[in-house]
Amino acid sequence: MGLVSIGEFARLSRLSPKALRRYDELGVLRPERVDPDSGYRWYDTGQLEQAQLVASLRQIGVPLAQIKLILGLDRAAAAEQIGAYWLAAEAGHAARRELAGYLVDRLTGKRSIMYEVATRQIPGRSVLCLLRHVDGEPGLVAAGKEFIQIFRDRPAPRMPGRAGAVFLIYHGQVTEDSDGPIEWCRPVPDEQADELAAGYPELSLRTEHAHEEAFVKLGTAAVSPAQWQVIAQTLQAWGAEQHRQRSDLGARITYLATPPRTADSRPDLDFAVPLG
């Protein structure tokens, strides 16, 4: 059939003209030709397979930025990416189901113990920090990559044990409605703190005082935002039962990297709340 108008392509692909214009603006699915005078879009019927793939991927919830990447892959790599997305989506759904069950139990007066809570003492320490307001999970991941890259480019001494592990503080929730802030932190030796801070002008140096923490050990398993919420609720319920109050230092995840470190190794995680 060759080139067809945006209206005809919308009919054939079952995508609305509004959607097609948006996909063009985002570089997901560009028309074959755009009239230089009127700006009218013309599509090749050979693009229908891609358009139908975009529509199908949107139906299963794949974000447009990820769809753009998938369309640039060969068929085998695209299939692998779609499979990986769906596995992650199913894991996220299971985690949200867990959170919903926990909330139902709590609201109906049932005691639901889903994670074992322990306590530990954390010494005072100097920390280099990156504070960011983030736009949901993508912003959170981007800030983490930025923080990691800083220390890849300019390595700093590693301190031993959990007290020396990198940690991420949630000063507020990170959702579509709330932008944190979050703060990535790396403990550094007190005696070198000022000297090290001079080499990282994009980071702030501060002192975190000694405190006790309640924590849930998670190991190397991947944990979704919904699971973090269940764990936070578990720690809150534990605190109420033990008559222990949280401090204002912020809930945090610690990432303890254990040697040997490889491209496939994962850090040992736990979720902690400082106690007052």
Question: Is residue 79 included in any domain, yes or no?
Answer: no
State whether the Cα torsion 211-269-85-262 is positive or negative: positive
Q: pTM above the 0.85 mark?
A: no
Q: Tell me which residue of 172, 177, 267, 163 sits closest to 215, measured CA to CA.
A: 163
Is the distance from CB of 238 to CB of 151 less than 8 angstroms?
A: no
pLDDT in tens, the chain (276 residues): 689 999 999 988 888 999 999 999 999 999 999 988 888 999 999 999 999 999 999 988 899 989 999 999 999 999 999 998 888 888 777 777 777 777 777 777 776 666 889 999 999 999 999 999 988 778 888 999 999 999 999 999 988 888 899 999 998 877 777 888 999 999 999 999 999 999 999 999 999 999 999 999 988 766 776 777 778 878 887 888 888 888 888 889 999 887 666 666 788 899 999 998
Question: Is residue 181 included in any domain, yes or no?
Answer: yes
- Secondary structure (3-state) at 156: coil
Q: What is the per-residue pLDDT for 260? A: 66
If you search the block for the tokens 């944990």, which residue do you land on?
223
Q: What is the per-residue pLDDT for 138? A: 82
Domain of 10: which CATH number?
Answer: 1.10.1660.10
- Whether residue 260 has a cis bond before it, omega within 30° of 0: yes
Domain shared by 254 and 158, yes or no: yes
Q: What is the per-residue pLDDT for 231? A: 82
Domain shared by 151 and 261, yes or no: yes
Locate 18 and state its tokens: 């509004």
- Per the structure, the complete domain to which residue 63 belongs is given by 3-72
Counting Cβ atoms within 10 Å, is residue 239 exposed (0-12), middle (13-18) or buried (19+)?
Answer: middle
Name, in order, each residue with C-beta under 8 angstroms of 108's C-beta and a sequence gap of 6 or more: none
Q: Tell me which residue of 166, 267, 168, 161 sits closest to 218, measured CA to CA.
A: 267
Is the distance from CB of 158 to CB of 166 less than 8 angstroms?
A: no
Question: Cα(113)–Cα(165) distance, rounded to whole angstroms?
Answer: 27
Boundary residue ending a domain (45, 72, 99):
72
Q: Tell me which residue of 172, 176, 187 sits closest to 132, measured CA to CA.
A: 172
Locate 242 and state its tokens: 């033990």
Domain of 146: which CATH number?
Answer: 3.20.80.10
Total domain count, the chain: 2
